[in-house]
Amino acid sequence: MSGASIAMHMSDGIVDAPTSAVFGLIAAGGLGYALVRARAQLDERTAPMAGLVAAFVFALQMINFPILPGVSGHLLGGALAAILVGPWLGSVCVGIVLIVQALLFADGGLTALGTNITNMAIIGTAVGFGVALALRPLAARGRRWLVAVAFVSAFVNTVVASLGFVLQYAIGGAGGASLGAVAVSMVGLHALIGIGEGIITALTVGAVASARPDLVYLLRGKAPRPRTAPAPQVSPEGSAS
């Protein structure tokens, strides 16, 4: 297995045809269900934000950066999308990005599209939002806490998504490398990628929350408490002191 083929975007021939077919069905069913659920989230705030998120994730995934000689990786964007527009719409955004990349830019194989969507759009987005949701009480404490939660969510999302790749290779790997080598390479490299993913996600979510906290899905109803001056004391006579 070459270095280029252990990046998150799985190419054709890394897993056998039956495995690709099974995960193709899983991806289609998962995205279809997410699309149905996402319709209930669309409003005047969420719809434009979803377009911006999809464009941003597309740009991020098109940028590959070297990890080791002959090995490159890219950001995933699942946690970022889920935190900003919710898990269902976030999954649809990432899925659309992966489909466009595969069809128009040959980034990821067509037969591997189901495995890539399962890993990045379904597993990654669900795990990223799950971590963020579990830590939401911390995120509501203030912007610094929100940034920290975004970083952790994106890091975990990246590593767990890489484990999806390992699982698929264990089921029907056809790349010629041992499962142990694939597991060590994928998890180790994506732990490094996860740091970059976490930083960019944290900075982006923090910037949006500073300007328009109402646009951050994770904070709906739990906006970070602003630092305000204490309320003036009122004397018994009714005058403020």
Collapsed DSSP state (helix, strand, coil) of residue 68: strand
- CA dihedral 40→43→46→51, nearest 10 degrees, is 100
On whether the pTM is more than 0.85, the answer is no
pLDDT number for residue 105: 79
- State the pLDDT at residue 5: 43
Q: Which amino acid is at 16?
A: D
Q: Domains for the chain: give ranges and CATH numbers.
A: 3-219 (1.10.1760.20)
CA dist., res. 75 & res. 14, Å (int): 20
The pLDDT value recorded for residue 106 is: 73
d(CA 212, CA 30): 30
User: How confident is the model at residue 73, as a pLDDT?
Assistant: 66
With the CA atoms of 169, 172, 177 and 182 taken in that order, what torsion angle do they form, in degrees rounded to the nearest 10?
A: 10
Query: pLDDT value at position 65?
Result: 61
Cβ 87 vs Cβ 126: under 8 Å: yes
What does pLDDT average to in each consecutive run of 10 residues of the chain (241 residues)?
51 86 96 92 82 91 61 78 95 94 80 91 95 95 95 96 90 81 86 91 95 90 50 50 46
